[in-house]
Chains A and B, each alone.
Chain A
Amino acid sequence: MNPSTQAAAGIKTGYQYGFHDEEMLVFKSRKGLDERVVEQISHMKGEPSWMRDKRLEAYRIFKSKPMPAWGDTAFLNAIDFDDIYYYLKPTEKTEGRWEDVPESIKNTFEKIGIPEAERKFLAGVTAQYDSEAVYHRINEDLKKQGVIFTDMDTGLKEYPDVVKRYFGTVIPSTDNKFAALNTAVWSGGSFVYIPKGAQVAMPLQAYFRINAQKAGQFERTLIIAEEGSKVHYIEGCTAPTYAADSLHSAVVELIAMPGSHIRYTTIQNWSNNVYNLVTKRAIAREDAIVEWVDGNLGSKLTMKYPAVYLVGKGARGDILSCALAGEGQHQDAGAKLIFAAPHTSGTIISKSISKDGGRASYRGLVKVHSQAHDVKVNVRCDALLLDEKSRSDTYPTMEIDSKRVRVEHEASVSKIGEEQLFYLMSRGLKEQEAVTMIVNGFFDQFARELPLEYSVELNRLIQLEMEGSVG
């Protein structure tokens, strides 16, 4: 049924999304990046001039900013920005009916599992293939409530005022090199607007997939939850396994107005040749709640530190993340909580596993500004090392400028206990099964926060990852 699918050589066993389709693109920018390419992207999309100017300004900032001197500099410096296609257009337009999506792309997404997932469960789905959204649907009931859930390009066309008002206000181009790059060449991503008081009961969902070799994906997501509203957004990411590396550099901005509640869940399962350098940040106003639930299983190097800026009294930010680093992988993930208002609180829970020479790092920041009294924050990092080749790092920073605060941080690193293994094996489990069970248990706190089928999927992915890791 899918003749274009082929297994690439050197695929890590168990990565089920490593297939790729032959490229059948409507448009592909030339390799590398300069002002012409940026202008071309903007022109192809028929954007207003302010967005084109923003892109060009961001491009200049990108050029002027040095690469980060911290983190995994060996991996970072291996990125060749001139060897990447910055814009790939797979289809002429975004389809509203699944039947109308081109056959090859449809096949891909059926393999990943939409729209089955949508039919069963989800309120709305956007699927992005290379640079552009190829399929989009939203539940009628939500439309009636005034909920907007569309891809970012459509958002810019149909709601230019809202986009212009909020775009880049949480993460300006000057924030970091990769945020600047994203602002210059962004394409796709989700635009979500939840009107005052609207409660979105079912999760909104997006799928991102890189198909072409040496491709960059730079989606841009903006979620605005008006006063008293509630939304849960889920994204999943996959890519084929090529010999050449790809770059994924997204920017995600969340704005939680007073009393609103945003939960943002990511299951990142890029193939092991994707650089995943993502900036995610939320602003939480008075009594708002922002939750990041962030799972990192794939990619070559992930650098991602979802942040919540608590700027309104009584706001809360919770970040729960898990990472699994296998052979050749470095999961440099973490979290940031910035307290800038009184009576704010937050928690960070990080769980990581390193195996087969992989490296998992927690890197985090808790900052309590002087105006933020009566702040409570708790950080907990647990790391499990499955073999002597692997590595685990914990790099938290806490800056406390206020007296009436309670800041607690705890971290532990250990291997699987002999007693635990022995106990499980005495119950008739093979060592492999016992280890997998312990690993699943270790991630349980994370899995419980996911919708059921995601939780099942996570367990299955972990099981695949764990195959052959013992003995």
Chain B
Amino acid sequence: MSLLSSRGVSDPATVNGQPSPKRHPSAAIPSREDAWNAYLSAEPPLPSAPEWRRTDYASLGLDRLKDRGGRPELDGGELSIVAPPEAVVLSLEDALRDSRFAAQARRVLEADPVGSYAKIEFLSRALAAKDLMVFIPPAADSETVVRVTARASDGFAFPRFSIFAAPESRAIVIEEHVGASSNGPSASQAPAVLSFSRLFLGAGASVKHFYLQDLPMASRTFWRQTAEIESSATLAHASLILGGALHKSDLEVRLRGTGAGASLWGALMGSGTQKFDFHSRQVHDAPKTQSRLLFNAALKDRARAVYTGLVRIEKTASDSDAYQENHNLLLSDSARADTTPLLEILTDSVRCKHGATAGAPDPEDLFYVESRGLSPEEAQETLVMGFFSPLLGQIHSPELASRLEDRIAQKLREQALS
């Protein structure tokens, strides 16, 4: 197994925590200083931007960074990527110098941050300890299993990575964002984790990606992932969101080649005063593409979930098929759910559907389960666990699925602190 782990303090691109001047003039890597200046000069996103209608940019607490006299401090978090020997894990800088991977690295580098996340992305470029690249070769007999772990203690963490799945490759990527303590999240820690990741699926590649966010309840998290999927490649994404005072995420999937497909499963269990703002984008760019999305939110106490999802079928994407579904289970009178499933269809030869629901558990369902001898609390728990089963069913490892089931049940039983 090759192991590549990095911590901010040992990053060679900085001296005494200060960004160094341009060190790679030939490779034209924008320096941390450039990124920092771009971050400072970029306007904060307007509340009218669709991605920021329900979350105040200021609530991420990034202004705290600027107050340190314009001297960016590096990433206090830790990002580790563990992959079997057939895969190659490199830093962006090393990938640029390697003729086998330079083209892909440049593709990452040259994607200039645009839109309402640009300011945060510049910040991430300025402060991330490393930008890691994982290259997965064409499939051997079995799937390549890549484990991405982002650990955060206190302060800011900026995980950044890209995964290139070569044509016809097969991979399982398990991405976990957890607190620094190995004994599970502790409420005393208040990290802010801002993550940017990119998946590139070559023609015919198959990637299963699982993302678990189980950070301490006091943390603030921002997670953005983009996936570009070429012909006949398929992505199966599943995410489970449990932690954080504020969790904001944005998953964007672009189906760029004929016959590309994506199935996206998400679920969250909210309690206390947690707030979740989840965005998804299913963009169909090519003919005969397929996408499916199911996002379920169970909310107790005063938790609040916002879901905004867009299906966009471009003119070039005839004979495409898209599905988008969002369900919200409200387990207390003070829980809140907002849902905005959007469709933009620019060609006619499509099948496109979406559905959304919100409400308390169905009394008839509860009655049925109780009639089997369960207490009202047990009956409710049974229904809530059933709500998570589509997601858990997507997880390839029974051991992981059962661990997650326990975590959900634990969170469901916890009494609110307030």
Contact = CB atoms under 8 A, between A and B. Distances in A.
Contacts of A463: none
Interface in B305-349: 315, 318, 328, 330-349
B354 interface: yes
Contact of B352 (A370, A373, A390, A412): A412
Main secondary structure on chain A at its contact with chain B?
strand
A404 B347 CA distance: 39
Interface in A353-412: 370, 373, 383, 385-388, 390-412
A405 B352 contact: no
Given A398-B358, A411-B354, A393 B348 contact: no
Contacts of A398: 337-340, 356, 358
A397 B338 contact: yes
Contacts of A4: none
A395 B342 CA distance: 5
Given A385-B350, A415-B350, A394 B343 contact: yes
A409 B355 contact: yes
Interface residues of A, number: 35
B357 interface: yes
Nearest to B356: A409
A393 B330 contact: no
B330 A403 contact: yes
B358 A390 contact: no
B340 A394 contact: no
Given A69-B48, A408-B357, A415 B340 contact: no
B71 interface: no
A414 interface: yes
A396 B360 contact: no
Given A400-B358, A403-B360, A386 B335 contact: no
A24 interface: no
A411 B360 contact: no
Contacts of A407: 356-359
Interface in A393-448: 393-415
Contact of B333 (A69, A402, A410): A402
B347 A393 contact: no
B353 interface: yes
B57 to A, nearest CB: 17
Main secondary structure on chain B at its contact with chain A?
strand
A399 B318 CA distance: 33
B338 A394 contact: no
Interface in B186-212: none
A69 B334 CA distance: 32
Interface in A117-160: none
A178 B360 CA distance: 38
Interface in B231-273: none
Contacts of B345: 383, 385, 391-393, 413
Given A388-B318, A412-B352, A403 B347 contact: no
Contacts of A406: 357, 359
Contacts of B334: 370
B413 interface: no
A387 B344 contact: no
A397 B333 CA distance: 20
Contacts of B332: 403
B358 A405 contact: yes
A350 B399 CA distance: 46
Contact of B315 (A388, A397, A410): A388
B351 interface: yes
B306 to A, nearest CB: 9
Contacts of B330: 400, 402-403, 405
13 contacts: A69-B48, A387-B348, A388-B315, A394-B343, A397-B339, A400-B338, A402-B333, A405-B359, A408-B357, A409-B339, A410-B355, A411-B353, A414-B351
Which 5 pairs, one residue from A and one from B, show the smallest C-beta to C-beta distance?
A: A385-B348, A394-B343, A415-B348, A400-B358, A413-B352
Interface of A: 69-70, 370, 373, 383, 385-388, 390-415
